[in-house]
């Protein structure tokens, strides 16, 4: 086996078709599947040709892969010697037979990132297979979290995953984030965007913005709108509309600055910004008050990452009402919400068990806590 400018090992039989100086006609014949090769060589060859510089070669390779008999493709995808990137590619193809998704889910070589994707998009059979892999769930708790959030997972398996999550994952130390970074980095750039890094890493805001080069100098020195300055009396509707219009015209860097230095009116608008970096800047503002935090927790228009930051703040979550609102907000990350229900009063737990606005897994967990209190 040789390696060709890629972390994916390829056999010497297909190297001639992948060299930069390989004739286009030869690459085209290979893309059409006209080269006598075993499937263990042909399929990796077609995979590599999907990145060929010539569009016709790419299109023929894609058509050849899609036209492969399912049994041949299934035997290939079952191999534990495959590179995770190849398995990830096939997992994301809309034309792939659902039964082959189950083969990928069973393959130990499949990355946890790919399993998370299958957990979010998979069919009930695939979800059941994933739900039985406790080793993966311990290594990557996000798998269990996405399982619990998927309405296609049947009640029996959901109850089992929830019990395992509460008893074996919440009690464990936080998963090794650098390993997850490394795993996602093994994918092509476009796959990294699909798989997604945890928002804790993707939107981490520097503690001292003025010392970071990312912020242009003009952003560091921006003049706050009069309506956004601290000490301003409650704004009239006209002033609030004026502030909103000014914020809409701001650059992201300016919004970040305003989120950290502006008043509560500015923070109230920016926390709902579609850019997560801007929204999370509000949650990291040293000026944010408990009253504002409570309003944020009650809102259904804030992003999940803002609620995650609040949930991890020990000072804020000492407030019982904040814990209750976090548990009652469907956008609160499920593991955080489950953690808070253990601190709730019986009356509030009963309210959660009847709520139609929270994930079913959370309502089930609330019922379990209530039943344990009665024993």
Mean pLDDT in consecutive groups of 10 residues from the start of the chain, 375 residues:
48 90 94 93 94 95 95 94 94 93 96 95 90 94 86 84 80 46 40 33 34 33 58 68 86 84 89 89 91 95 93 94 96 92 93 92 92 78
262-303 residue pLDDT tens:
888 889 999 999 888 889 889 988 899 999 999 999 999 999
Q: Residue 337: in which H helix or E strand, if any?
A: helix 334-341
Give residue 243's pLDDT.
83
Give residue 231's pLDDT.
55
Q: Which two tokens stand for residue 120?
A: 């979010």
Q: Residue 260: in which H helix or E strand, if any?
A: helix 252-261
CA distances for 153 relative to 101, 119, 226, 354, angstroms:
16, 9, 52, 20
Among 141, 106, 140, smallest CA distance to 122 is for: 106
Report d(CA 370, CA 341) in Å as an integer. Answer: 10
pTM: 0.58
Give residue 8's pLDDT.
62
Give residue 372's pLDDT.
86
Give residue 309's pLDDT.
93
Q: Which two tokens stand for residue 330?
A: 């469907």
- Sign of the torsion formed by the C-alpha atoms of 193, 195, 199 and 200: negative
């Amino acid at each position: 086996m040789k390696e060709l400018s890629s972390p994916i090992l390829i056999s010497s039989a297909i190297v001639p078709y992948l060299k930069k100086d390989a004739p286009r006609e030869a690459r085209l014949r290979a893309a059409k599947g006209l080269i006598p090769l075993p499937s263990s060589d042909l399929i990796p060859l077609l995979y590599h040709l999907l990145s060929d510089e010539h569009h016709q070669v790419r299109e023929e390779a894609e058509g050849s892969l899609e036209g492969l008999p399912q049994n041949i493709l299934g035997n290939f995808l079952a191999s534990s010697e495959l590179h995770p990137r190849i398995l990830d590619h096939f997992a994301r193809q809309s034309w792939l037979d659902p039964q082959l998704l189950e083969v990928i889910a069973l393959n130990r070589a499949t990355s946890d990132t790919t399993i998370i994707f299958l957990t979010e998009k998979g069919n009930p059979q695939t979800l059941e297979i994933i739900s039985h892999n406790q080793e993966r769930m311990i290594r990557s708790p996000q798998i269990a979290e996405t399982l619990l959030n998927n309405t296609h997972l049947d009640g029996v398996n959901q109850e089992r995953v929830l019990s395992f999550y509460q008893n074996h994952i919440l009690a464990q130390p936080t998963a090794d984030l650098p390993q997850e970074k490394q795993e996602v980095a093994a994918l092509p750039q476009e796959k990294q965007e699909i798989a997604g890094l945890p928002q804790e890493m993707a939107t981490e805001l520097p503690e001292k913005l003025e010392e970071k080069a990312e912020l242009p100098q003009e952003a560091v020195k921006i003049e706050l709108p009069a309506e956004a300055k601290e000490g301003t009396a409650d704004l009239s509707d006209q002033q609030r509309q004026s502030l909103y219009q000014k914020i809409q015209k701001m650059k992201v860097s300016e919004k970040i600055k305003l989120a950290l230095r502006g008043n509560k009116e500015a923070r109230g608008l920016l926390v709902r910004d579609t850019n997560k970096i801007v929204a999370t800047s509000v949650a990291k503002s040293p000026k944010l008050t408990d009253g504002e935090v409570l309003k944020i927790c009650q809102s259904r228009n804030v992003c999940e990452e803002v609620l995650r930051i609040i949930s991890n703040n020990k000072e804020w979550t000492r407030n019982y009402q904040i814990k209750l609102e976090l548990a009652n907000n469907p956008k609160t990350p499920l593991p955080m919400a489950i953690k808070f229900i253990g601190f709730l009063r019986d009356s509030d737990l009963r309210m959660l068990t009847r709520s139609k606005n929270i994930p079913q897994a959370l309502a089930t967990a609330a019922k379990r806590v209530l039943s344990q209190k009665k024993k």
